[in-house]
Amino acid sequence: MKKSNIKEYFNNILGNRSEKDYILEQISAIKAEMEIASSAFDNVKDPLLIEVAIYAERAAMKRYSYFIELAKKKGIVASNGYIIENCTRLAEY
């Protein structure tokens, strides 16, 4: 894939958001996916659904590792304000 195509792809995904915001949003969303998969694993009885929950959690963990490494490479860190804002939003649910 050409660099110009990759850049265009990410520009379409990001829209008005910065790359940092996109990466941090993905990390937050993936953490929620891992929690959902873990909860599903704890609450299902059917062996097939248990397998699905395990697969979903492993896939989310791989994506989480990817985005954490990407954030590290780009020197992205979440500010205290960002953390407080997101924790407050989660507490409202």
Q: What is the pTM of this model?
A: 0.68
Q: pLDDT confidence of 72, banded at 50, 70, 90?
A: very high
Average pLDDT in the 7-21 region?
69
Helix (H) / strand (E) element for 67: namely: helix 47-73
* pLDDT band (50, 70, 90) for residue 15: low
Over 70: is that where the pLDDT of 66 sits?
yes
User: Hey, CA dihedral for 11, 14, 19, 22, is it positive or negative?
Assistant: negative
Q: Which of 15-19, 28-32, 42-46, 89-93 has the lowest mean pLDDT?
A: 89-93
pLDDT > 90: what percent of the chain?
Answer: 53
Rounded CA separation 21/10 (Å): 13
36 pLDDT exceeds 90?
yes
Give the pLDDT score at 1. 55
Domain residue ranges in the chain? 17-92
